[in-house]
A and B are shown apart, each in its own frame.
Chain A
Amino acid sequence: MKTRILIIFLGMLVLASTILLRAAWLQFLPNEKLKNLKNKQFQTVITLPSRRGSVVDQDGRDLAMSVAAFSLYADPKIIQNKKQIARKLSKELNLSFDFVFSRIKDSNRRFSWIQRRINRSKMEKIESWKVRGLSFVEEWTRVYPNENLMSQVLGFLGSEGQGLEGIELFFEETLKGNQKKISVKRDARGRPLVSEGLLFTENPEGHEIQLTIDSELQYQLEAELSKAVSEFQAVGAVGVILDAKTSAIRALASAPTYDANKAHNTSAEIRRNRNVTDFFEPGSVIKPFVVAKGLKDKILQPNTKYFCENGKWKIGQRTIRESDAEHYFGSLTVSEILAYSSNIGTAKMALQMGDQRVRDGLKEFGFGEKTGVDLPGEVKGILHALPWNAHLLATNSFGQGMAATSLQVATAYAALANGGVLRAPYIVQGIRNIETAETQEIELKNGKRVLTESEAEAMRMLLTAVTQKGATGFTARVSGFQVAGKTGTAQKAHTNGRGYKPGAYISSFAGMIPAHKPEYVIYIAIDEPQKNYYASVVAAPVFSRIASFAVRKSGLAPTLLASENYMPQRLPAEKEKSQDLVSSEILSPILNMENKILPDLKDLTLRQVIRKIQGHEVRLKRVGSGKVIETWPPAGQEIQADSTLILYMKED
């Protein structure tokens, strides 16, 4: 008996020891498999989707931002009372009953989207019904609070939140950020347990992009382009405003435009950013670059004369005419050729220079090359390979037979404005890391010098002649500011086949303001205006209104200089009125000046004198030339209204 008891006891002891040993084995010795099983049972992974970074303008105004939205999906297999649920959902989500019911009626399906990206209040209401089989996924929805404003530049997102156009596409990686995964413990009901300092309050965020765009200027540009399109019944219009010193893009617009929040309902034709994707024959706005090359290579001077064949010139089998049939010119100086936009004059300059030199000149100013702007879909335009026959050389010199984008034209003018350096235009000013609050400013790239300072200044002076009375760009003037620029009325090429489309023109104006120290470079092009096509009637007034707004917004003081003092040469129309007196119409509106004591003008040039006495209604009489040696009345005396100030001048 005792032996039996002992055997049973020993058997039980061995069994218990084995169990204990096994338990200790499992508990204390490391085992990856068991650890993973345990983690799977008690831990859950929370995915925090990344919020797409915002896009703001130069002043920090929001242009594109992301907000949380909730996408509703169903598990049709476990939904009870399907018809009743479909009725309630259709009412809440403004969907048709048939649509919702079709999504949940098939009990074999385990997943079906009902509606993507609904707002929080609707989500909370549907959740309060506590319907088994209806769940939500948190997503982001993109909002463009300014709707139509710069929609072609900003672009838009696809249904999965990926950038499809514009800034959204070009900076996809920067904006989208990375989603974060957090592993946390969960309770029996699957709720995450907040422990070990793990919080999931804030989603990771993509970088914020700050643009160089000025929203107000952008709006003004878009409004004026739309107005021009409707006024002249045009097909469309494009406009660019660049910072003259840096080539930063201050505004970039094309009309018609669209609401970026409803991009998917808009045709691709309207959605594309035509300033970079479309090239066209720019017309006479190209002429200054031929002149600039001629000046640079010392082939011509501003006062070099060319015979303009009285309006008709035969080159080989073809005849070149002036753009305006009413214009017939005899001999014109280079300055006048630009002012009156003579095709024949420019063609003669080009022929004198030769095809290699003209092509090199255009290439130096960036034509036929991409500008390198940070926007997608940029094209480089067309600049034919050499050799050019005489006719092609002539037509290229006045902007036909070659093609450029509006941004290329504006960039080339910016080189004239900033003292001769061609800089790549750019639209992103800085990229901000939201999590670290660090901002990476985009460094200004060194440009390529294409003209000397003095050559660029000479070009600006020549272009100032274009906006004087009697010249083609007179309507581009802005009261109180000197404008330098050039009109362009270009024939539009057939998109299919050879030749030009009858009656189709691109009317444009490229210019800078203020001419003596440019702050803005503005290019406006109106596509196929129907009511009138001359740039002086269609594009130049648009330029004037936009430039006027731009200088006043930036607080630039008007320069009340007489126009003759900035002109390299007076135009024939002006010559009739020329006198030794340098009187100024634009001085006269200044009244009620308190200080009317004549300052000391000794040793000043005529230009310096005019700058010094601006604001007074006086007429100047000059005796001699050079620097002032004496004045009448003398310095310190009061200047009477409408009195004459005599300057006795002598060369050094």
Chain B
Amino acid sequence: MSSNEIRILKPVMSVTLIILTLFGVVFLQMEERRLGYSLLKLTRNYRKVLENKKNNEILLAQATRPQWVEKMAASRFTLKKAEANQIILLSHPFEDSEP
């Protein structure tokens, strides 16, 4: 390509470059906006998951509360509270001696 032809193409290329740059900027802005919406959706889902986790923690706390455990032990496993006379006392024979 001769220098003359390049001189003729230069303004066209400059205009094209400017137009492409502008299109690029607009595209990037649109992409940012689109990603923003995706992120918004994800954050909402994340919050929902956090809330579910919190609800599950409540369910766990309810399921392990002592009165519930005792009720279940008595009704499902027919267990009874130990009476004082059922407790067997054990102690080490010689506390100070070597094993």
Contacts and interface: CB of A to CB of B under 8 A. Distances in A.
Interface in A130-160: 143, 145-149
Contact of B87 (A215, A479, A614): A479
A594 B43 CA distance: 66
Interface stretch (A60-68, A95-103, A268-276, A326-334): A60-68
A219 interface: yes
Given A65-B58, A560-B91, A614-B93, A149 B67 contact: yes
Interface stretch (B1-9, B11-19, B20-28, B47-55): B47-55
Nearest to B32: A195
Interface string A162-205: 00000000000000000000000001000111110001111000
Interface in B82-99: 84, 87-97
B76 interface: no
A191 B93 contact: no
Contact of A479 (B36, B65, B89, B95): B89
A587 B47 CA distance: 62
A589 B87 CA distance: 11
Contacts of A559: 91
Contacts of B67: 146-149, 219, 223
A21 interface: no
A615 B54 contact: no
B66 A149 contact: yes
Sorting the interface of chain B by its residue count into under 10, 10 to 19, 20 to 34 or 35 or more gives: 35 or more
Given A65-B58, A599-B94, A612-B95, A191 B43 contact: no
A61 B57 CA distance: 10
Contact of B40 (A192, A479, A589, A594): A192
A545 B58 CA distance: 31
Nearest to A187: B33
A187 B91 CA distance: 75
Interface string A310-334: 0000000000000000000000000
A545 B83 CA distance: 9
Contacts of A586: 89
- B-side binding surface: helix, strand, loop or mixed? helix
A572 interface: no
A614 B65 contact: no
Contact of A548 (B47, B84, B90): B84
B54 A199 contact: no
Contact of A191 (B37, B47, B48): B37
B93 to A, nearest CB: 4
A590 B90 CA distance: 7
Contacts of B62: 145-146
A615 B93 contact: yes
A68 B51 contact: yes
A195 B93 CA distance: 72
A557 B37 CA distance: 63
A145 B33 contact: no
A61 B64 contact: yes
Given A193-B36, A479-B84, A560-B91, A201 B47 contact: yes
A611 interface: yes
Contact of B43 (A145, A200, A558, A599): A200
Nearest to A64: B61
A616 interface: yes
B61 A146 contact: yes
A22 interface: no
A566 to B, nearest CB: 16
B91 A62 contact: no
A144 B90 CA distance: 39
Contact of B46 (A62, A201, A611): A201
A120 interface: yes
Contacts of B40: 191-194
A480 interface: yes
A437 interface: no
B89 A560 contact: yes
5 contacts: A62-B61, A194-B37, A589-B88, A599-B94, A599-B97
Given A215-B65, A612-B94, 14 more contacts: A65-B61, A68-B54, A143-B58, A145-B58, A145-B61, A145-B62, A146-B61, A146-B66, A199-B43, A216-B66, A219-B65, A220-B66, A480-B89, A615-B93
The 4 closest A-B pairs by CB, nearest first: A145-B61, A219-B66, A615-B93, A480-B89
Interface of B: 32-33, 36-37, 39-40, 43, 46-48, 50-51, 54-55, 57-58, 61-62, 64-67, 70, 84, 87-97
